Every structure is written in structure tokens, then in C-alpha cells.
Amino acid sequence: MAIELTFTPLGTQFKTLIGLERVTDVDPRLTRSYYFDSRLLTAEDLNRDQIYLDGRLREVGQALGYGILRGLETSLSNVDGTITVNPGIGITRDGRVLELTRELSIDLGDRATLSELNKGSFRRIDRSLYVVVVRYTENGTDVAEAFPNDLGGQRNFQYDVISEGVQLSLVRLLQPLGNQNTISLRANLLREWLGDNTGGGAVPEDGVALGVLAFSNDKPQWLDTELLRQPLRAYNKASDLQQDLARRYENVFRDLLQERTQSSLNSDFAASDYFRLLPPVGSLPKDAIDPVTGRQGYFPENFNIWIAPVRASDIELLRTESMALPPIDLSLGEPIDIIVLAPLPNALYGQFAQRLERPTINTNAIKFLPAQDLLRLRLYPQRPVHELNTDKGTWQDIWDRVTQDQLFYIRRPLRAAETRLSGIVLAQGVPVPVVPPQSLPTPADRGLLQNEDGAFLNRTNLHLLARLRPAQGDKGVTAVNAIQAGFAGNALITQQISSALMRIERAYDTVLWQTLLSLTQSSQLANFVEQLLDTANADIKTGTLVASLGTRYSLDASLITEWSNIANA
């Protein structure tokens, strides 16, 4: 006969030998009614079951992710100020599935309707930035008569049905609506909300963001349909932040080109005129790049800019590879390698690429294979930019075939040559070399081949641990900085600190990092962590244990006292 071993996931809910009034607290979402014959059911019992089912369904929604599954495209009419939302489905952060089955629109200039929908409030909309949100709503409808429990009572009325649906709302953001250019304002918000799709917590948990609206002078000024909006995803991948930035950047960049055209301005401008942060992959104005005359004006002078033709069939692969790289911060002075790609049909790529190759070179020591003849360009070109002027005509032919909507750039690692993308260097800030540049060193030449400790620190390091377990108070922050400054490259210390953080409860965070600093500086950290792990299952509080070991490990008396006080609190 098989022996079945069972356990109670929630723990014992009833205190032994104590009455039912001592039932422990249980999450009501996990509580449902137990039915049996002759049981008296009340409204509370039935409502409990509704709460249980609602909670379980929302947990499924949270597992699916947060964001817009499909549809819910939003537009703003420049004629009458009407916001229109198309049908679609989204999932909120608290797991509710919102489905809009028909087009929803509201005239923001209709004050009477706005006042009626908001029960007399909001007769006018103040000047500010608002996030457009579609959110969950429920309303009581119809009438049900409630009879009294005894003859002396009176009948009353309750709602008969609770109707669930969605509604369109404007939620005011904390960021003020500045007086600067609209494009510049939207570009600044790209950086301010990078990695935060809640607008600093403004987007409610039962709603999904559809975009950001600027309102001034009693009428809408502009609507950005990508800011704070995100597609449905269950968890954040490494490139999600870059994908969000790229999508929002393209939306602003498209409107920027349109605005400059309407203002009779050309498209030759610098990125820093409007943007402070660029995605690792994105569009750029064709007028700002000219490989024929040897000039580019979009990126800062300290950037290393390359240009290359690329097969149309390779574009998606190159975009995917580069999207994993960090965003481009234009305010930093560090050099960054950028490749501007000129897409060509597969049939034409081989023809033009071959015309850009230099012939095979044979020397007594080495044989150089055919490669594209490198060309250096500057922010302010110096002639001659084409060596012997052999590829000027080729680049003119290529450039005539590339349109504005096809041209894009990608960020590459500093060793751009390893990408095997032949290209033309658009270098700035350095004189044009007389001879072709030497080939770049390999990773082995630079000592970039990592050992076991280096590979470990790529995944787990003190900076990451400090983010996962933030220090409390000024002393804690000072201790974290000291540990990072002295032991950032020490894999063994990092591993020991990681073990200590997993063993020590968060209740001791106010003294945790100061203690780790003291133990690290006295070379006692390894013994201390070993002692903690050996007593992990002992019936003793961590604070009491550390306080008893404090003298042995030369801890400061004030630290020992704090550990003891927290344990006894």
C-alpha cells in the first residue's frame, strides 16, 4: 500500500486548542465558500466566490504580461480636437483584460459632455501633460427590490446588475508642459521616461497607456501615440528598453522631418539640436550625410562614423544584433562607433560592393585579400577625401538609389571591423591620414579574452548587488561606495557578499553594508559567511547570532548593539 505524504501550503490556519476566533489571516483571493447540504448561504458567501474567481483570472492576466495585445490605435483630430481610439485588447498591470469592441471617441472641446461624464467637475482642462488611458470600469444598472428580514423592516432597492466595461481617461502627469519647441519637449520625454512606462506612477494599475497629450489654451496641442505606450510582454528582455526608445524616437523623428518641411527648412541638422538620447538603431536625415563630398553633420564630432552599402536581406539581422547595445547618449564625450547603412537590392549589392573593393595586395610577409577601399570623412570635410578619387562615382550611384525612408544607422561595438561590414569611415576630429590605417588589433592583442573570474563578474558584480539590495541611510551608501571602490574586480569577495545578502534578512538592511565593509577590510568576510551558512537552520535570530560573533570578528561596538536591537525589536 502506497504511503501518501501531504502538506499544507498556507501553513496551519487554526491555533491548536484555541477557539475559531483565532483563525489566521488568509488572502481573500484564495478563499472560496465550501458548499454542503442544508448550509445557509448569504450574499457575503456568494460575493466571496466572485472575489476568488476575479482574483484567479487576474493572476492569469498578470502571467500573460502588461501592455497592448493588438489594436487600440489612438489619433487626435487637428480640426475639432477629437480623440479617437480604435478597437483592440490590452492587459493592465493588475491583470485585467480590457477589450474595446467598437471605436471610442470624445470631443475634448465639448465642455458640457465632459462635465456630465465627470459629475460636474472638469468644466475645463488645465494646461498640462496628460497620459491617455483606457481603463477598467464597473457600474451598477437596473433595480432589484430587497425585502426586509423581519416584519418591522422596510423594503429597499439595490442595483440588480454590475456592468463591467472600459472608459477613456486623461491622467495628469507630474512633468510640466514647457514653452519649448514641441519636438524638443517630446524628445526630452524620451530620455526622462526611459525604462519607466508608468510616467512616474501616473498610469493606474487598472489602465493601459495609449499615449501622451499636451493641453493648453483650452484645446489639445499635440498627441504622441508612442510615449508611455508598450506592447504586451510578460517580462522585460535585455533589448526591450532599446525597442521602446527606438519606436518612440521614430515617431518623433518622422514628425520632425515633416515639421521642417512645412517650415521650408532642409533636413540637414544635428541630432543634438533636438535629442539628448538616441536608440542604438534608428533613422537619420539623408541631407546630413554625403559620402561623395566626405561630410556628415548629424552625429557629434567625437563619434566615429562609418558608412556602408548593405544587402536588403541582411537588414533585419543587423537591426536585431545592434538593438542589444546600449542607447547613445549625446551628452557624453566618449567615442562611439556608428555605421550608416545604405540598403541596396540583393541583385545590385554585389555590383557596387565589388566596385568599392581595392585589389589584392601581395607582399613578402602577408597577402591582403580584397576589401573595400576605406574613405575618411569629417564633420567639416577636407579634400581630397577619396584616395585617388577612385570611388566617388560609385558612391554617387549608390546615394542616388537610397531614399530617406530606407536610410538608417546602427551602433556597433568599438571594434567595428569585427562586424565584417566593409565601410567608409566618416571620422571627425582627426586629420586625414596619408596612408590607409593599420588593421585593428584582435581581442587577444588587447587582453580582452576573459578568464573565469571575468566571466563571473559579467553576470554578478557589486554594482548589481547594490541595486538588488539598496543601502539604507548615509552610512550604508558610504559603505557600498567603499566596497565598490576597493573590491569591484574581486570575484571571490563578490561571491561571498552575494551569499551573505541571500542569508541575511532585509530587516537588517540599516546595518548590513557597514558590517560587510568592516569584515571585508579585516579579511574576515569568508569566515563570517561560513558561520552564517552553518547556522542557517538553527533556531536563533540572525541579529542575535551576529551580535554574539561581533567581538570575534572585530566589529564596532555600535554595530553590535544595532544588530542586537533589531533582533529584539
Q: What is the pLDDT of residue 283?
A: 92
- Least confident segment among 210-224, 257-271, 362-376, 521-535: 362-376
Contacts with 556 (C-beta within 8 Å, 6 or more apart), sequence order: 518
Please check the confidence at residue 279 and state whether its pLDDT lies above 90.
Answer: yes
Give, for 394, the enclosing helix (H) or strand (E): helix 392-401
Whether residue 435 has pLDDT greater than 70: no
Residue (of 504, 513, 446) closest to 475 by Cα position: 513
By mean pLDDT, which of 103-107, 121-125, 206-210 is the weakest? 121-125
Q: At what angle do helices 315-323 and 240-262 cross, to 10 degrees?
A: 110
Comparing CA positions, the residue from 558, 559, 496 lying closest to residue 528 is 496
Share of the chain above pLDDT 90, in %: 5
Three-class SS state of 341: strand
Alpha-carbon distance of 386 to 397, in angstroms, equals 15
Tell me the C-alpha distance between 520 and 497, whole Å. Answer: 9
Residue 397 pLDDT level (bands cut at 50, 70, 90): confident
The neighbour count for residue 131, using CB atoms within 10 Å, is 23
pLDDT at 13 over 50: no
Ranges of H-type helices in 417-521 = 452-459, 462-468, 473-487, 491-503, 509-521
Cis ω before 384 (30° cut-off from 0): yes
User: Which three cell numbers, joined as nine digits, stand for 147?
Assistant: 425585502
What SS3 string covers 505-526? CHHHHHHHHHHHHHHHHCCCHH
Please tell me the number of Cα atoms within 13 Å of 386 on its side-chain side. Answer: 17
pLDDT digits (tens, 9 = 90+) for 32-66: 888 888 888 888 888 888 888 888 888 888 888 88
Q: State the alpha helices, DSSP H only, in 263-370.
A: 315-323, 346-356
Percent over 70 (pLDDT), the chain: 78
Check whether 281 has a pLDDT greater than 80.
Answer: yes
Q: Is the pLDDT of residue 91 over 70?
A: yes
Question: What was the pLDDT predicted at 463?
Answer: 84
Q: Give me the pLDDT at residue 285, please.
A: 92
Provide the β-strand partners of residue 130: 172, 213
Instruction: Please name the amino acid found at residue 543.
Output: G
b/e map 548-560, b = 16+ CB within 10 Å: ebbeebebeeebb
pLDDT for res 364:
46
Q: Which three cell numbers stand for residue 352?
A: 557596387
- The one-letter code for the residue type at 483 is I
Among residues 298, 259, 308, 305, which one has the least CA distance to residue 278?
298
* 456 pLDDT tier (thresholds 50, 70, 90): confident
Residue-wise pLDDT for 175-218, tens only, equals 888 787 888 888 888 888 888 888 888 888 888 889 998 888 87
The three cell numbers locating residue 12: 496551519
Could you give phi then psi for residue 154, rounded to 5 degrees?
A: -120, 150
> Vertex 38, ends 37 and 41: CA angle to 5°?
100
Better-predicted residue by pLDDT, 27 or 380: 27
Distance CA 459, CA 282 (A): 28
Q: Distance (Å, rounded) from C-alpha 242 to C-alpha 280?
A: 7
Whether the predicted pLDDT of 12 surpasses 70? no
Task: Classify the C-alpha dihedral 116-122-128-131 as positive or negative.
Answer: negative
CA dihedral 201, 207, 211, 214 (to 10 degrees): -70
For residue 441, the model assigns a pLDDT of 54
**Cβ atoms within 10 A of the Cβ of 466, count?**
20
The mean pLDDT of 482-492, rounded to a whole number, is 86
Position 332 confidence tier, pLDDT thresholds 50, 70, 90:
confident
- Annotated domain spans of the chain: 1-64, 65-232, 256-427, 455-568
| pLDDT of res. 399 | 87
CB 68 within 8 A of CB 231: yes
Rounded average pLDDT over 352-362: 62
Helix, strand, coil percentages in the chain from 3-state DSSP, rounded to 5: 35, 20, 40
- How many other C-beta atoms lie within 10 A of the C-beta of residue 190? 23
Confidence grade of residue 390 (pLDDT, cut at 50, 70, 90): low
E strand residue ranges, 64-185: 67-71, 74-76, 82-85, 88-91, 97-100, 104-107, 128-146, 156-172
Tell me the pairing of strands 337-344 and 328-329: unpaired
Strand partners, 110: none
Q: Which pLDDT value is given to residue 522? A: 86
Which among 273, 280, 264 has a CA at the least distance from the CA of 298?
273
Inform me whether the pLDDT recorded for 475 exceeds 50. Answer: yes
User: CB-based contacts of 10: which residues, under 8 Å, 6+ apart?
Assistant: 26, 30
Cell of 535: 547556522
Ranges of beta strands (E only) in 315-472 are 328-329, 337-344, 357-358, 361-362, 367-368, 371-372, 408-412, 424-427
Q: In terms of pLDDT, which residue wins out, 495 or 161?
A: 495
Distance CA 177, CA 214 (A): 7
Q: If you average pLDDT over every residue of the chain, what do you get?
A: 78
Q: What is the per-residue pLDDT for 367?
A: 39
Query: Would you state the pLDDT for residue 424?
Result: 53
- pLDDT at position 152, please? 67
DSSP β-ladder status, 295-296 and 361-362: unpaired
> Is the pLDDT score of 7 beyond 50?
no
HSE at residue 114, side-chain half, CA atoms within 13 A, is 16
Q: Would you state the pLDDT for residue 112?
A: 67
Model pLDDT, residue 379: 54
**Is 373 in contact with 269 (CB distance < 8 Å)?**
no
Burial category of 83 from C-beta neighbours within 10 Å (exposed 0-12, middle 13-18, buried 19 and up) = buried
Average the pLDDT over 211-239 and give the result.
85
**CA-to-CA distance for 269 and 276, rounded, in angstroms?**
14
| pLDDT at position 122 | 63
What are the pLDDT digits (tens) for 135-185?
888 777 777 777 777 666 677 777 677 777 788 888 888 888 878 788 888
CA–CA separation, 183 vs 78, rounded Å? 17
- The whole-number average pLDDT for the span 83-102 is 88
User: CA 495, CA 500: separation in Å to the nearest integer?
Assistant: 9
How sure is the predictor about 484, in pLDDT bands with cuts at 50, 70 and 90? confident
Better-predicted residue by pLDDT, 433 or 513: 513
